[in-house]
Amino acid sequence: MTDCCSTPGLMPLEQGLEKLRQEITPVTEVEQVALNDALDRVLAENVISPVNVPSHNNSAMDGYALRLKDLERTDTLPLAGQSLAGHPFAGELPAGQCIRIMTGASVPDSADTVIMQEQVNVTDDGVQFLNKPEAIGRHVRLAGEDIPEGCEVFTAGHKVRAQDLGLLASLGIPKVSVFRRIKVALFSTGDELKLPGQSLGAGDIYDSNRFALTAMLKRLGAEVIDLGLIADDPEALRQAFADADQQADVVMTSGGVSVGDADFVKDILQEMGTMSFWKLAIKPGKPFAFGRLLDSWFIGLPGNPVSATMTFQLLAMPALLHLMGARPVALQTIQAVCKTPLKKRPGRREFQRGILSTSAAGQMEVVTTGSQGSGVMRSMSLANCYIVLPEQRGDVAEGEQVTVQLFNHFLMN
């Protein structure tokens, strides 16, 4: 067996990511979608607020609105009426008077301050103000103070999240321009693969990659064309490649990209298209192939389930986001104390699966999920993060500080 860690010619992860970005041209077709269809889509245009937020001066408290100047000569003002949310006080606030006002209700133009109801005494003569606020404008939220009309709230390339839909709706925007959805044709390769529910023959295993990958592709906002299981047979693979190439923007496979006798995927990519790069200096996930077919991009993920899931997250996801027209999202890493020793051989950057938690004392701590074999899918399932160990380092002792990369939302709850 080749010593994986001393294999020369492995490409650093950053270089692979850079190549993906350089070679993939983002989609340009644009469509308009209603807000309820806009989740996870990528904005094709900047969004400018057509309105002020808030739209009118309004109260931040339940209390009384007045002109602060009117409290210079008296501490009691007669009550002129009320302003409730959706039912503003009609007209100007009469001089020397106050109105009852509720949170969110319009503050009349001529009022400048709200005093909370806890600081007044309501008497037969009107409202007695017990404490005079130190500054004019207290508890009044000014029109446009959060977002002024004309302000850019999103730039093109922003991927729409739940809270963004709330914001867009608050601006009265009913639909947005987004890039068209990308199509990814997916198949698993391997003679040994069976579907869950089928019985296993000698040496068979279940196809798990397609389920994890389909789920992540859906969360990414891609349309998945599921081409099922393809045997380790060059002719069947050629046919599947051609089929997938015709239908999708990206052809994504798992398995068959290593150096075994039945690993035909890489050869067929070279025969039917071009291969841009193949082996990366990461563990797991070394055999990751990227290239171009006639009408699509090709992403060949490793067969081992941990490697397939992890390279999807680390490499395919940023590549697909770029294709979708999205701006790159920075990875979040934090430092944590490693509470279990870790085995590591110098050579490749390792992404060991970890469980991150906060100790009672508020310290970030991480432990290993146990066996780190690239076929141990349980490690992915137990984990909530990767413990990222730099290329050159060796074993980690208990108590050492390590870098942790949180799983993003494709792998989280």
- Which chain residues interact with ligand AMP by CB under 6 A? 188, 190, 192-193, 205, 207-210, 254-258, 260, 263, 302-305, 375
Partner in contact with 23, chosen from ligand AMP, Mg ion, none, beta carbon below 5 to 8 Å by kind? none
Q: What number of chain residues touch Mg ion (CB under 5 A)?
A: 4
x-marked contacts with Mg ion along 337-376 as a string, rule CB under 5 A: ----------------------------------------
Partner in contact with 258, chosen from ligand AMP, Mg ion, none, beta carbon below 5 to 8 Å by kind? ligand AMP
Tokens, residue 213: 């990958």
Task: Rule CB under 5 A: say whether 221 interacts with Mg ion.
Answer: no
Which one, 189 or 405, has the nearer CB to Mg ion?
Answer: 189
Partner in contact with 188, chosen from Mg ion, ligand AMP, none, beta carbon below 5 to 8 Å by kind? ligand AMP
CB 282 within 8 A of CB 307: no
Nearest approach, Cβ of 306 to ligand AMP (angstroms)? 9
Nearest approach, Cβ of 50 to ligand AMP (angstroms)? 49
Which one, 85 or 205, has the nearer CB to ligand AMP?
Answer: 205
Select from 170-178, 234-242, 297-305, 312-320 the region that touches Mg ion (CB under 5 A).
Answer: 297-305
Partner in contact with 394, chosen from ligand AMP, Mg ion, none, beta carbon below 5 to 8 Å by kind? none
Partner in contact with 284, chosen from Mg ion, ligand AMP, none, beta carbon below 5 to 8 Å by kind? none
Helix, strand or coil, per DSSP, at residue 352:
strand
In the bound state, the residue with its beta carbon closest to ligand AMP is 303
Partner in contact with 209, chosen from ligand AMP, Mg ion, none, beta carbon below 5 to 8 Å by kind? ligand AMP
- Report the alpha-carbon distance of residue 211 to residue 283 in Å, rounded: 22
Which position has the token pair 């310290």?
363
Which one, 21 or 194, has the nearer CB to ligand AMP?
Answer: 194
Residue whose C-alpha is closest to residue 275's, from 255, 293, 254, 261: 293
Residue whose C-alpha is closest to residue 184's, from 27, 399, 333, 408: 27
> Which residues, other chains included, contact 61 with Cβ-Cβ below 8 Å and sequence gap of 6+?
103, 114, 116, 117, 139
Which one, 256 or 325, has the nearer CB to Mg ion?
Answer: 256
Which one, 76 or 258, has the nearer CB to Mg ion?
Answer: 258
- Report the alpha-carbon distance of residue 156 to residue 45 in Å, rounded: 4
Distances in whole angstroms, Cα of residue 214 to Cα of each of 54, 183, 411: 41, 12, 12
CB 77 within 8 A of CB 128: no
Nearest approach, Cβ of 410 to Mg ion (angstroms)? 24
CB 120 within 8 A of CB 128: yes
* Residue 353, strand partner residues: 386
Task: Rule CB under 5 A: say whether 16 interacts with Mg ion.
Answer: no
Which one among 63, 126, 144, 190 touches Mg ion, defined by CB under 5 A?
A: 190
Rounded to 5°, the CA angle 126-129-135 comes to 135
Phi-psi domain of 203 (left: phi exceeds 0; alpha: psi -120 through 50; beta: other):
left
Which one, 83 or 253, has the nearer CB to ligand AMP?
Answer: 253
Helices (H), 5-117: 13-23
Nearest approach, Cβ of 16 to ligand AMP (angstroms)? 18
Query: Quick one: angle between helices 234-247 and 265-272, nearest 10?
Result: 60
For residues 191-210, which are near Mg ion according to CB under 5 A?
Answer: none
Which one, 286 or 322, has the nearer CB to ligand AMP?
Answer: 286
Task: Rule CB under 5 A: say whether 255 interacts with Mg ion.
Answer: yes
- Report the alpha-carbon distance of residue 120 to residue 258 in Å, rounded: 77
- CB-side neighbour CA atoms (13 Å) of 394: 0
